[in-house]
């Protein structure tokens, strides 16, 4: 690729840590569930905006492996909201060419949730505009451990030699196999952490932290983040001259 202006590579993959639902509700004297309900409305708006912006992949951190430790009633609420989301957005996803994909430890999800996710993934499999990746029961360390076990099994069976294992093998053993690495990570609610999200895949992502709570993060705020991203100069460990010449603009380990 030749590029003499050293601009950011096009944004293919956006990842978001949707934080602040609880505080949004608390500020209004509402129960936390109200924040999550409003958070789902924001999910719908942001998915639509990503389709409009021709972003090809959006990964949302919807439920972390640590979230299992929340009060049972809150976990149940989040799972119900997920099921409602899948039912209410089914037709829209099909119409808009949105393909659903799930990452995380599915074994911990209930049979009902697993089955609804399987159906949605199957039904939307031909969606060619946006891949919507929901990280559910997801933890970056857990994902890396599962990938390492998979590779260890291949080594133990003699399929590959330990010294031949490389970053591409690792990338293709992760839940995100086949997806480009995120170009931009957004976290809402003013927290400055990545909280065990996509630890391997975020290696070269641009980071964007915004004070707005997730329910207040709409298309306008998303466009501001995208504008900010377009001003960034990504170097992938190379010199400014090299990136100006178009080297290293691919953000993928695979």
Q: Which residues are catalytic?
A: 19, 67
Does position 205 bind ligand FPP by CB under 6 A?
no
Choice between 36 and 234, CB closer to ligand FPP: 36
Q: In the bound complex, which residue of the shown chain has the CB atom lying closest to ligand FPP?
A: 22
Q: What part of residues 109-148 is at the interface with ligand FPP (CB under 6 A)?
A: 134
Instruction: Compute the least distance from the CB of residue 16 to ligand FPP, in Å.
Output: 10
Query: Of residues 9, 16, 43, 210, which one binds ligand FPP by CB under 6 A?
Result: 43
Between helix 72-96 and helix 32-52 the angle, nearest 10°, is: 20
Query: CA–CA separation, 128 vs 82, rounded Å?
Result: 22
Instruction: Compute the least distance from the CB of residue 56 to ligand FPP, in Å.
Output: 19
Query: CA–CA separation, 136 vs 196, rounded Å?
Result: 13
Query: CA–CA separation, 210 vs 187, rounded Å?
Result: 6
Instruction: Show the tokens assigned to 176.
Output: 């995100």
User: Which secondary-structure segment (H or E) carries 102?
Assistant: strand 98-103
Choice between 43 and 222, CB closer to ligand FPP: 43
Residue count of the chain: 254
By CB under 6 A, name the binding residues for ligand FPP.
18-23, 36, 39-40, 43, 60, 62, 67, 78, 81-82, 85, 134, 214
């Amino acid at each position: 690729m030749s590029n003499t202006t050293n601009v950011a590579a096009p944004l293919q993959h956006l990842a978001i840590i949707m934080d602040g639902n609880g505080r949004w509700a608390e500020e209004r004297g509402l129960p936390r569930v109200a924040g999550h309900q409003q958070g789902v409305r924001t999910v719908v708006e942001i998915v639509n905006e990503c389709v409009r912006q021709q972003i090809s992949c959006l990964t949302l951190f919807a439920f972390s492996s640590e979230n299992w430790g929340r009060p049972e009633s809150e976990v149940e609420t989040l799972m119900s909201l997920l099921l409602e989301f899948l039912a209410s957005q089914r037709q829209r996803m099909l119409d808009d060419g949105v393909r659903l994909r799930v990452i995380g430890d599915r074994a911990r999800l209930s049979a009902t949730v697993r089955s609804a996710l399987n159906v949605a993934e199957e039904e939307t499999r031909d969606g060619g505009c946006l891949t919507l990746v929901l990280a559910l029961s997801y933890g970056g360390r857990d994902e890396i451990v599962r990938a390492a076990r998979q590779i260890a099994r291949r080594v133990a069976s003699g399929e590959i030699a330990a010294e031949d294992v490389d970053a591409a093998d690792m990338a293709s053993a992760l839940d995100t196999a086949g997806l480009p690495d995120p170009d931009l990570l957004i976290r809402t609610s003013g927290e400055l952490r990545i909280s065990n999200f996509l630890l391997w895949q975020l290696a070269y992502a641009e980071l964007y932290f915004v004070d707005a709570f997730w329910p207040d993060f709409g298309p306008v705020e998303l466009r501001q983040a995208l504008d900010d991203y377009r001003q960034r100069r990504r170097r992938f460990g190379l010199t400014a001259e090299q990136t100006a010449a178009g080297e290293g603009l691919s953000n993928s380990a695979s």
